[in-house]
Structure 1
């Protein structure tokens, strides 16, 4: 879209305020931590020392509000350690302005690289740059700088202790993630009653998997009701789709469809009950009518063939889930992969090699993270230099604004830039007016700062503009408490804020990282991952084993991640003021639809995978392994063609499929023979890939 349209769209996003708030107790707890540190440092030390302590407590408290599944005390302590180190390093370089500008640029570059570890690490690392800019002006000697670094660390310790002493919904984030996954599955079951081809967004499942990754310490303390429920819930998804799909499940009309709708409705009720139980931590009974709906009707089974097979499997999974509601502690460590152990999450010391690997992976000029790090480092250095040269007081407002605004993508940088400028200008004007007109003493400034931080914690999910206004008022009152801000006019601060925002926006315009140009690579990765997932599902019929089922699971996770990456890039590209010369938006949309059909078919195959259950091993389907290899190779070749912007040709796969059909005998009607099931579904896979070829050739 044109630049004017893109800027208007992102500005509108930045000004949007959501009617969402943090839990009041969380905001009170965070503000209490700041109050303890501020008033304690003010009583025992100087206003400047209280300013440093308050900044440390505020940012350490902010870290506990980030979306992370690590223990909140650990996040607060890690943030405090980074803030203390940045304070000390910045002060040691501050006597020599050129050296300080160089150190600041390198520190900001490192903070930008922290985005390779995820948004939480990136946000916390960015705050260390802001503290380096502000706190470095407060000490007057090296011992004082050590003292300031120490009280900043104390602020983090206080916030960590408050999290332990005033727990608010222990394991609440993990409970919500798993409950949301069950609720999304219940919604999917209800939609399948009316639309057998309803789409399913796996984002909730991906979030639940992320929440299930635990450190060793977390694994020892995890509540029993959070263990062992994610795996059977995920196994329900392909079974639900197989039962509802008229091609492979219940007939499109008639008694079979009515019975399928009844079972899907009962499944939705059980899944909703599971979600409520997990969210609250208390067993919730399943209604008796739901059990009756799942029982075989008095007149005998209505479903037959693959549909009945899917229904029986679904009822079994639901029964296991319902049983676990009544005795969650008995879901123990003896039944399911998710119960035997846990998905490993490295502890903070173990994160060092992980961080090094993430940085190496992003150490390429095409990486958005590296380009973001270069932008942040350059803008921080330029902003500090310009702030020193201009006749304004407190020149750090320009680089501070720029660093806090910048993100690795265009839409967030520009929307946050506009919101930050508006919120900062409002906060500066109001807070400066209070300071200049009321002339509050240090204790009153401290109380006003705590009040502002309570507002920031409360509105942290409302919108960046609202939170920025509160945070800016907080900083103004802290600086007034330190004694130097009364002589600095509001116009100076507003001018520096506008300068910093302009630098951030200009840096992205001059040195962008457009997601639009990454779309071919994202789409190619999605095609390749989808081909591997479908090939693994076919290959599992050719060589039935526990290893083949694990391969299906692993490729499914890769397929989900590739889909999420493509969706994210597509959404970000849709608001960028550039256009890809080779790949049109309509082609990407059509290709995504074709790959969604491929993924759905692979999901249907997963529902009927042969699984040894103590009886004789399932017979391999002749030719399945050979067709799976052809499928994998053809989709990999198609992905390479997309990356090279060449025509995609998948006609060879149809030839492989036609040759395979000649090898197998004609199946009986409504057969549940694995050979018939895999051959039928493989035909759907070929149809989906032919749709992909057509989408990319139009």
Structure 2
């Protein structure tokens, strides 16, 4: 993609408004908390302290909206406390320009490295730097700076208290994640009716898995319908696939196929009903027709072999889903543990240290953003426009570790600032609102910001820009700055961010082969774990298979995210064309699917072992390790050991139609991958 087209695509992405479900009650709660903080600080301490407290409450409200499975009060407290520390440290160094620039560089560098811990931490850290640039101009002494830091922390505490006192859709995020996973499987069942080898995106299942991790205290309070439904849903997907696939299921045409289509449609209805009940906390209502289809005795008489076993298992799993959605499942089972923050600190330190290496995109981002923010601060200070913090504030808010988000957010920031600052400044210069009216207008803008928080950065930034203008208008600091001055400084910050990425990039495109190799290795381990279980059916290998499956899903999602970012980059991939990347992705998806089909019919305890399966599993592990290295080195992988193992067990696998068909599909997927990478190399 050329630079011109890349800029065009990212600009469109930044200005796009996404239709999302609004949450007015959550927005009203955040705005009410802000109003309480501003009104209380204004009555007790005056407008300057009220502005500081308002920034803490506003930032805590934004933190509540971040996608995290941590309790919302904890996010608000952490945001307010970190902003208080940032403000106080910044003020201590603000009297000396050189010292403050050094502190700003260090603080911004740390905020850039925070992206290695997670998106939520990265957003909060970047927001702290942006607001710190404003709040350090308010105090006049160290004592007052400490007081301002304290009221900022109080603002976060007030938002946390309101979340506790007035919860909106308690466990709503977890309900949505689980409902989305069930709805995705319902859609998958319906698609399998028309396309027996349809693909399935595992991301909803992975999100639901992340949402299911709870602390011991949360486990005691969690609604019964959220206990075991996800685990059952995980086991439904391979059964659906094996029932529909002609390789291990029924023929492509005939009465058996017609009956399977009816079963898949009924399964989709049951899963949709369970998803709706879990999302809204209502009773499950299964249509009688769907229940009758799954209970028809003629089905078992019509089907035989693996399809018959799949139907029996599917009906049992759907019953379990309905029972769990009704809250009638086993509440005493184990749960995924979410460690407290104190236990996460060592892991966070290890992640940050792991990014301190040459070539790390997060390290490049940290260096890039710290240099840009310092340059923007110096330029904003030197220009005769006043309040030069608008430039570095823009830079730190729009810059992300990848190209597409940085450029899209720069365009969205400029467009949103142009509208928000223009309207707010026009109101201030025309109506000349007093302190109380300015505070009221700021609260209204905050409500609008919270309301459209998830619809797009451009819409959100309109409210944020107007909020800052009205809030600082309470102290009279912004009275002398015009709309062109603010827009010019915002444009300067956005341009600096764009130039920094062009000069010191961290392209995703050259790393695509490494992502592909990681996915290949993970898929190989998953398939080998499944095949090896046929050689030792008496061993409880479910945990090993489960671990390998999760790793394969993580690698697939990482590849898809990298590919989505690389599509918008103005660079070419050496040795991996777009067509080759798509073909390789399809081959690896088929490889994982073949393993999933074999997993759906794992032999039970006491089944006859298949000794040759152990040799195939070991050959697959060795060949995928070598193939992953070949992919990284731009060579075409070979599958000599796998071919030899397949040839050696042709007699041994007779009597295991699922295992034989799955192995054939696996071999076809490996050949397809070699062909795709060979074409890409050529």
TM-score bracket, normalised by the shorter chain, equals: over 0.9
Pairwise CA distance, 1:325: 4.1
Distance 1:143 1:87 in 2: 13
Structure 1: gaps (5+ residues): 334-339, 668-672
In structure 2, the partner of 1:239 is 239
CA displacement, residues 271-306 of structure 1 (integer Å, 9 cap, x when unaligned): 112111211223213233222211243586111111
CA displacement, residues 347-399 of structure 1 (integer Å, 9 cap, x when unaligned): 12222112112112222222221111111111111111111222220111110
Pairwise CA distance, 1:101: 0.6
Distance 2:300 2:141 in 1: 87
What's the C-alpha RMSD, in Å, of the aligned pairs?
1.4
Distance 2:179 2:57 in 1: 32
In structure 1, the partner of 2:67 is 67
Distance 2:9 2:277 in 1: 41
In structure 1, the partner of 2:663 is 682
Distance 2:57 2:350 in 1: 31
Distance 1:676 1:270 in 2: 30
Q: Equivalent of 1:618, from 607, 616, 632?
A: 607
Q: Equivalent of 1:645, from 634, 639, 642?
A: 634
In structure 2, the partner of 1:336 is none
Pairwise CA distance, 1:331: 2.7
1:373-522 aligned at under 5 Å gives the runs: 373-522=366-515
Distance 2:298 2:434 in 1: 81
Distance 1:538 1:314 in 2: 22
Structure 2: gaps (5+ residues): none
1:42-441 aligned at under 5 Å gives the runs: 42-298=42-298, 301-326=301-326, 328-333=327-332, 340-441=333-434
Pairwise CA distance, 1:330: 4.3
1:21-36 aligned at under 5 Å gives the runs: 21-36=21-36
Match of 1:621, SS? coil
Distance 2:555 2:672 in 1: 19
In structure 2, the partner of 1:654 is 643
Task: Number of aligned residue pairs: give it.
Answer: 679
Change (3 A) 1:574 1:299: closer
Distance 1:225 1:588 in 2: 41
- Kept in 1, the 8 Å contact 2:284–2:322? The answer is no
Change (3 A) 1:71 1:170: same
Q: Equivalent of 1:693, from 659, 674, 677?
A: 674
- Kept in 2, the 8 Å contact 1:21–1:458? The answer is no
In structure 1, the partner of 2:40 is 40
Change (3 A) 1:58 1:546: farther
In structure 1, the partner of 2:536 is 543
CA displacement, residues 463-511 of structure 1 (integer Å, 9 cap, x when unaligned): 2111111101100111111122112222221221111111111111111
1:549-560 aligned at under 5 Å gives the runs: 549-560=542-553
- Kept in 2, the 8 Å contact 1:51–1:478? The answer is yes
- Kept in 2, the 8 Å contact 1:384–1:396? The answer is yes
- Kept in 1, the 8 Å contact 2:175–2:279? The answer is yes
Pairwise CA distance, 1:679: 2.8
- Kept in 2, the 8 Å contact 1:224–1:329? The answer is yes
Distance 1:498 1:418 in 2: 9
Pairwise CA distance, 1:546: 5.2
Distance 2:267 2:429 in 1: 64
In structure 2, the partner of 1:337 is none
Pairwise CA distance, 1:29: 0.7
TM-score (norm 2): 0.97
Distance 2:298 2:413 in 1: 66
Distance 1:299 1:44 in 2: 75
In structure 2, the partner of 1:528 is 521
Pairwise CA distance, 1:544: 2.1
Distance 2:259 2:33 in 1: 57
Match of 1:190, SS? helix
- Kept in 1, the 8 Å contact 2:530–2:599? The answer is yes
Pairwise CA distance, 1:460: 1.0
- Kept in 1, the 8 Å contact 2:53–2:148? The answer is yes
CA displacement, residues 560-608 of structure 1 (integer Å, 9 cap, x when unaligned): 1111111111111111000012211111111111111111110100000
Match of 2:649, SS? helix
Change (3 A) 1:21 1:50: farther
Match of 1:460, SS? coil
- Kept in 1, the 8 Å contact 2:627–2:638? The answer is yes
- Kept in 1, the 8 Å contact 2:33–2:158? The answer is yes
Distance 2:280 2:447 in 1: 27
TM-score (norm 1): 0.95
Distance 1:525 1:55 in 2: 43
Distance 2:601 2:258 in 1: 22
Change (3 A) 1:655 1:385: same
Change (3 A) 1:533 1:440: same
In structure 2, the partner of 1:563 is 556
Pairwise CA distance, 1:619: 2.9
Distance 1:62 1:322 in 2: 36
- Kept in 1, the 8 Å contact 2:320–2:329? The answer is no
